[in-house]
Structure 1
Amino acid sequence: MSAPKGAGGVRLPPAFWYEIPHGYLRLDVYPTAERLDDLARQILALPEEVRERADEVFRLYCIVMWEMQKRLVQGCAMGMHPDDRGGVTTSVLTLFSVETRNVDPKAALVTLMASGAGESAETGIVPVELPCGLGFQTETVRRTMAPGRPEGGGDEPEQQPVWQGTIAIPDVRSSAIIAVQLVTSSVDLADDYRNVLRGVASTVSFTNPGLADGASGAVEPEPGSAAEAVRNDFG
C-alpha cells in the first residue's frame, strides 16, 4: 500500500497504531494550518522579551515537522524520566515507515538474517516475537552533536554518545517496513530503554482500535467516553 498524500502534497504514512508509554509527550507531526496559525498568534501575544526566542523555537518546530513528514514519520514523542542520581534522563521515540519498492519486506529482513547480520544483539539484527508478527531489532552506540552551546566557548559543536535502538516490523498489507526507534544520551541505561523499545513495539497493531468488534467501518466513540480515551492513546 502506497502512502496517500495529505494537505500540501505531503505523503502520509501507512496506517498503523501504537501506544505511547508513561513519561512521553507526543509531538504533533502533522499539525493543521489552523493549529500553526493559532501558535503564531500566541507567540505574537507574548511579552517582547521572550517573543523572539519563542519565534525561533516555533520556526525550528515547523522545519523539523516538515522533515519528519517527508520521511513518513507517523509519531514522535519526547520522554523525560528520573534517573538514579536524582537527575532526569531524556529520550526521543519515533515511529516511521520505509517503503521497499514492491519487495516483500519480511523476505528482505529474513535475507539479512540469513546472511549473518543477526549473530547477536550487539552486532546485528535479531528477531523479536511481537503480537503483530515477527520484528527485527538492531541497536548501536554512536556519536552525534550535543544540543546547546559548547561549554568551552568554541565554535565547533560538542559531540556525545547516544544509544539508538530500532525494531523493524514488516507491514503485512504492503511493501513497507514499520520502524520503532528510540534514541537516548543515557547510554548507561540502555537495558532500560531496550525494554521500553520492545514494550512500544509490542503495542503496534495494523487493526484500528477505534473499530467496534465485527464492524466493517469506523465507529466514532462518544466524546469523553473510555473508548475515545483509548483511541487517543494510540498514534
Structure 2
Amino acid sequence: MDTPTISFHDSFKDPHAELWFGEPAGYTALPVDALLPAPDSPDADKLRASVAPFLDSLPDEMVRQQFIAQFAYGQRLVAALCDIGTVHCSIGLHRDDVEDRGADIGPPLLSLFTISWHDTKPAPRGVTAARAVTATGNHAHIEFLELSCGPAAFSETMLTASADSDLSQQPLLQIHAHLPHPDCKRLAVLTVSTTAVSRREEYREILRQIAGTVSFTNPLEAEPGDDID
C-alpha cells in the first residue's frame, strides 16, 4: 500500500473551522450534514432529489426497498458517530500493493477516518494527552510526540463485535491521535479504523502524516502587515 499524498482539506477554506488539516488521497469525505437533514427541511428535499434518480434506475420495488433500508442503516451509523462528537468522517479506499512473500497484489483496503471532539478537565496539554491514553488499560502501542500543533499522544485499540451482533466479527483496528486544543479544555481525536490489521504500519504512517498537518489556527490567515491579494 503506497503512502498517499496529503492534500489540503476544505477546512483550510473555512474561516469558522476549529481545526485545519490535510487529508490523504484515497479518502472521500462523507457529507455528514447532508446525510442527516432535519425532517421536512429544504436539505431533506435536496437529499430526496439527489437519491431519486438512483432509485428510479433500480430494477424493481424489492431492490429499491433494500437500498432504502441500507441507506437508513448508514444514516443511523453516521448519527451515532455524531452523537459522540464526530465532526468529520471520510472513507478510504487504497490498493494493497505491499509485497508479501508469495502473495500477489491483494484486494482493495477499506478504512474510515474520523475527527471527534471530547471535552476534558482543564489541564496542561501534555497532561491531557497522557490522560487520553492512560485513563483505560485498552490502549496499546502508545507514543508521545511533539507536533507543529502541540503535544500529541498516539495509541491503538482493537475491537471485536459481540457474537449476537449483526456486525462483522472481523477484528477492527483503530489507530488514534489525541491532540489537546490550546484552550486546554478539549481534545481532538483523529482515528483511522480498518479491518486490514496486517497493514497497521502503513495506517500508522497515514495517521502520523494527517496529524502532522493539523493546526488549531487558520494557517492561511494573513499575518499583520501582510498584503492580501
Judging changes above 3 Å, is the alpha-carbon distance between structure 1 residues 105 and 71 closer, same or farther for their aligned structure 2 residues?
farther
Q: Give the counterpart letter for 1:173 in structure 2.
A: D
Q: Return the alpha-carbon distance in structure 1 between the equivalents of residues 220 and 71 of structure 2.
A: 32
2:123 aligned with 1:93, yes or no?
no
Following superposition, the deviation at residue 145 of structure 1 comes to 6.6
Aligned pairs for 1:16-165 (under 5 A) are 16-31=19-34, 33-45=41-53, 46-47=55-56, 49=60, 50-84=63-97, 85-110=105-130, 123=140, 125-144=142-161, 158-165=168-175
Unpaired runs of at least 5, structure 1? 1-12, 147-153, 222-235
Q: Return the alpha-carbon distance in structure 1 between the equivalents of residues 211 and 132 of structure 2.
A: 20
Q: Return the alpha-carbon distance in structure 2 between the equivalents of residues 214 and 56 of structure 1.
A: 53
TM-score normalised by the chain length of structure 2: 0.71
Alignment partner of 1:159: what SS? coil
TM-score normalised by the chain length of structure 1: 0.69
How large is the Cα RMSD of the aligned pairs?
A: 3.4
Structure 1 residue aligned with 2:12: none
Structure 2 residue aligned with 1:168: 178
Q: Return the alpha-carbon distance in structure 1 between the equivalents of residues 74 and 127 of structure 2.
A: 37
How many residue pairs were aligned?
A: 195
Judging changes above 3 Å, is the alpha-carbon distance between structure 1 residues 186 and 20 closer, same or farther for their aligned structure 2 residues?
same
Instruction: Choose the corresponding residue for 1:180, options 185, 190, 195.
Output: 190
Q: Indicate conservation of the 8 Å contact 1:29/1:73, yes or no.
A: no
Following superposition, the deviation at residue 158 of structure 1 comes to 4.7
2:210 aligned with 1:193, yes or no?
no
Over residues 48-96 of structure 1, what are the superposed CA-to-partner deviations in whole Å (9 max), with x where a residue is unaligned? Answer: 5243233223322332332222222121100011113241011111111
Q: Return the alpha-carbon distance in structure 2 between the equivalents of residues 210 and 61 of structure 1.
A: 35
Q: Return the alpha-carbon distance in structure 1 between the equivalents of residues 176 and 204 of structure 2.
A: 9
Q: Give the counterpart letter for 1:143 in structure 2.
A: T
Judging changes above 3 Å, is the alpha-carbon distance between structure 1 residues 26 and 39 closer, same or farther for their aligned structure 2 residues?
same
